[in-house]
Structure 1
Amino acid sequence: MTAIPQERRVVTAIPGPKSIELQARRTATVAGGVGSVLPVFTARAGGGIIEDVDGNRLIDFGSGIAVTSVGASAEAVVRRASAQLQDFTHTCFMVTPYEGYVEVCEALAELTPGDHAKKSALFNSGAEAVENAVKIARAHTKRQAVVVFDHGYHGRTNLTMALTAKNMPYKHGFGPFAPEVYRVPVAYGYRWPTGPENCGPEAAAQAIDQITKQIGPENVAAIIIEPVLGEGGFIEPAKGFLPAIVKFANDNGIVFVADEIQSGFCRTGQWFACEDEGVVPDLITTAKGIAGGLPLAAVTGRAEIMDAPHAGGLGGTYGGNPVACAGALGSIETMKEQDLNGRAKRIEEVMKGRLTAMQEKYDVIGDIRGRGAMIAIELVKDPATKEPDAAAAGALAKACHAEGLLVLTCGTYGNVLRFLPPLVIGEDLLNEGLDILEQAFARL
């Protein structure tokens, strides 16, 4: 494992000639529906740096969408996954099981909120985890309806497309979708008509009223929400909203599912974002940051709920692959040893300090939000009207990319810049990335 120098280096245009050549090969053989934020082809990555085939080194503010929290080649992940590769790559846990899967489930029982008895099932992707959480909740409650929220994102499979709020690019032209899915308002403080201070209780009351009138609580199997909404724009539900929804779920025998796929595993400065208001979910879905870049996902929850499906009712050929499980154990080891929750909080302190100073200079920054190393700015044409400015988000991202800083956009209106640096990024790189962003604002 060669350590990559932790310094930005731009030696060609971005993308460079070798990336352009590879892009031509890609266009010939890779389906057009698979997009890329930035068509630079990666040669190596580690720490806070992505090195491309042309020798450029980019500062990484994306972490492969919150996946490589421990870095893209963390020592413990590489060591454990390599050792597992030598032993065996696959048996299928449903054919002959292995210890790694059990160890990951033990770690999840220890780390997730609540001191009740917990069990887990392992899968490959976030969408699979969410889909299985719905299956488990339906088996447990013997009900069918599923409630989700405005601005939510839960995946790209048929059921999870139905759960996802945003049409383009996730749902457009791909219907019909799974039935018995209902969408209610979320507490989006920045855009709440009566202001952020009233948002939590008012949004909860609206959501509960709609569920009660339009579905009937006795028909609801599960309520699913991201404790910090990811793709929808890094929306932190206003205080009081999540506890009110959880109470309503508990009072009515509804399974409350926290979708922590993007926000989990130290990303927000806590093991899980729902801990912020003391929320204890019945089920929690995880993926992304769990295994240091190897494909793994999980549903973890109350033992009696997790045991509701019949034997053989949950599974999948690759679910809980042994190499991915080894990677997860290495990832968790790294998070504990390096106190990545503490690192995430420090990233928040640095980023919010710098971004607040930029907001004072540039009216286009309407809102700064998020927690830990899951921070975003919402861009608007006018702070008074809050009209979304997607063009500014696109232009800023492009300007950052040209200077060797990888940033991502998101949001229902496409007007949010999101920052997801690896939790192991050096503070010098973090500040240099913010310098590049500030210069992009000045030019814009």
Structure 2
Amino acid sequence: MAEKIKKFFQKKKADAKFKLAGPGHRLSESSISSQSVVRREEPAVKRSGLSEESKVAAEAALARLSQKRDNPAFNTSLAAIRAQVKRELESETANSKGSNEPLQVEKKIEIEKEVPGNFAASGVYFKCPLISNDILSRDEWKRNIKTFLYEQLEEERGLTACLIIQSCNNNREKIDTCVETLCKYLENIVTYPEEEKYQKIRMSNRAFTDRVQPIEGAMELLLAAGFAQQRLFNNEGVEEDFLVFIKDNVPSVESLVTLIDALRSAEPIQLELDRNLQVLLPSQAANKVQLPPSFYALTPEEIKREQQLRAEAIERSQMLRTKAMREKDELREMRKYKFAIIRIRFPDGILLQGTFSVYERYLDIHDFLRENLEHSDLPFVLTTPTGQKLNLDENSNKTLIDLRLVPTSVLNFAWHSSVAEEINNSPNKDVYLKPEIMVLVQEI
């Protein structure tokens, strides 16, 4: 992104990060309670085992496990939650013989609106720290980003127009074509400043009407580059609309070079997927099993087509098929989804739930869990419902689709064998999530 664009948003970005940092803390306060939960962006690191430093950190965390909590009110609430979980698990064992089946998604995709209470999540939500700390749906963010950018036009029309082109249009191919056409207009003026033919754009010209005019922000860019709309006579003597470059409208012809650079280097304002973190009791997890429509990568027309494909699938299921054929169908089925629900079940029955893109990596799940663990420096293991242990060294860069965790999956949590025995012998062996996360457990 061009340097001026970076400076333009630098202050707003810094303000957003400052707000996300949360309230300050005294140096004497517990380091555990003030740990940052900001998402880590560093690349995956190969781990071959516990280093000496990791062992020291693990020993320190284990020592803390033996200490009593300072907040008795939370202990009381935690005891109530554990008691409720125990009752539910006993009931579940009696009714279903302790079934540990993963979270199920109803096979049939309903076009009609489902009862929201049955949804595993109310929807898919995003953050945009560049603009604000709000958590909104994608459509709401599109409107907010558009409003935000148009508010900046008066301060810096040219550079803001570049961002409008990138952020307020959907077709990437048409955006790229428009950018190249606009750059060609401006490059011609820079290269041939005295050539009058390069200083006029006929608005009825097919290249302009097809490549430039339909793209939001393109006209704002041309106005910022010194063009003004005028009625002129064409070569046939007919009066029509032209965009005419007026040198006095810009500081210098050379300033167009900065605008060309901004056009080519600007990127759309990015949204960050919000995890929509939930802490669930077993009964709540059992009731919330369906995915909302926003999780599907399907239009209503595609849903109808999908129903037809399901009928064909029933016919195919009666035929002998190879493993490769079954895997191909399985991948095609998973690609219907844009997002996935991942639930992590702890030994005490509590489930931690998060929303992920189907193309995120296992490392993202690992980091999400570590950010919410009370003892995040202790090693742990996640196991799929089929019994596969997810190893960070082998699976960190595999996507959720690669690991067959789409559209939903329940992963079972356990402490790593190197610390499991010592944890099981500690007084607070059943402490898993941070207190501020446990208070999110939905009402019993």
Q: What's the TM-score once normalised by structure 1's chain length?
A: 0.25
Give 1 or 2 for the bigger CA radius of gyration.
Answer: 2
More helix by share: 2
